[in-house]
Amino acid sequence: MTLLVWRKAAGVVLAAGGALALLVWWSFEQDIGAARARVALDGTVVQTACGPIRYQEKGNGVPLLSVHGSGGGFDQGMAFAGGLAGRGVRVVAMSRYGYLRTPIPADAQADAQADAQADAQADAQVCRLDTLGIRTAAVLGGSAGAPSALPMAIRHPDRVSGLILLVPLVWMPPDVTVSAPPLPAWVERAMMTAPGSNFRFRVALQVARNQMIGSVLATPPDLHDSASPSERARVGTMLDSILPVSARAAGLRCDPEASRHPTPAPPGTVTAPTLIISAHDDGYGTIASARHTAGLTPGARFVGFAEGGHTFVGHEAEVLAAVLGLLLPDVPSVAS
């Protein structure tokens, strides 16, 4: 092949590569633009005695404060609990420290003790209720939201009418050392490294989606693949809605410390009616914590699914019915 032919071939390859790169970037800009628009349109930032907090509210009835997990925000909290809004529940979903324009206070940022961070977040959750004029509410802590939902019930028992801990890593048995496994390095870089976290995470979603389901969502990919279309869509939405990850990176960096197992309180410290739910195949190992915490909470209802992973695949209806059963115990037809 002559030099001229080589040059022409190289030019074609470079042109094709450039066109592909432009297509990839255009597609990314479309997706990230839609993600930014989604979180910009919803939610309101309100000034509280504990600092600015962003939240969203839906429905009327029994107040429920929905506290999201890692990679979330008010949108994740509403995505789970929003379905209760038309069933006699007033859902208030808030962004924890570092998520979607809820800033991390300087004192909480500097504090290296997990218990103190969780307590500060718990107090901020009560501040959110204060600005809404809500005297008492049930609190739902999902995943990394549980470490602040639990101390909220302990520190403010007169403000918490019910406690729901969903796939929580909180109190652990003394003879069990299970903890949330670290994310693979490439996933951590994709989620927590700025700038560029949005692009890296979006690429990871496209080229390694099953691995992301298994690592980030701690849910067996084969279980997800065999689930109903609606359940697969729900899990997929949970994963996709982490974008824009740049707006959640500060919270993601704080969560590993804030989610360390808190020191168990004496049995009977939690006085609110309590529901604790987990699954045996949760990749984050929450089943041991959920069972132990239920054992230290007299009267708590513990639900442990044989499978379902961290996203309780296949059990959404059961989980919502159990939550409604706690919130509206006198209306059995609502939870049917």
Q: Which residue has the tokens 């939405």?
A: 237
Q: What is the pTM of this model?
A: 0.86
Q: Which residue has the tokens 């992973």?
A: 309
Report yes or no: 210 and 235 within 8 Å, Cβ to Cβ.
no
Q: Which residue has the tokens 């101390």?
A: 151
Instruction: Say which amino acid occupies 87.
Output: R
- Say if domain 43-178+250-327 classifies as CATH 3.40.50.10490: no
What local confidence, expressed as pLDDT, does residue 174 receive?
85
Cross-strand partners of 51: 48
Instruction: Say which amino acid occupies 216.
Output: V
Cross-strand partners of 277: 166, 303
Report yes or no: 139 and 163 within 8 Å, Cβ to Cβ.
yes
What local confidence, expressed as pLDDT, does residue 11 receive?
53
Instruction: Please choose, from the candidates 285, 171, 306, the residue with its C-alpha nearest in 3D space to the C-alpha of residue 318.
Output: 306
Domains of the chain, residue spans: 43-178+250-327, 185-247
Two structure tokens written together for 158 = 């007169």
Instruction: Please choose, from the candidates 103, 106, 145, the residue with its C-alpha nearest in 3D space to the C-alpha of residue 258.
Output: 145
What local confidence, expressed as pLDDT, does residue 113 receive?
60
What local confidence, expressed as pLDDT, does residue 335 receive?
39
What local confidence, expressed as pLDDT, does residue 305 receive?
98
Residues of the chain under the 50 pLDDT cut: 16, 20-26, 110-112, 195, 333-336
What local confidence, expressed as pLDDT, does residue 54 receive?
95
What local confidence, expressed as pLDDT, does residue 30 receive?
60
3-class state of residue 25 by DSSP: helix
Report yes or no: 275 and 165 within 8 Å, Cβ to Cβ.
yes
Q: Which residue has the tokens 């290296």?
A: 112
What local confidence, expressed as pLDDT, does residue 274 receive?
98
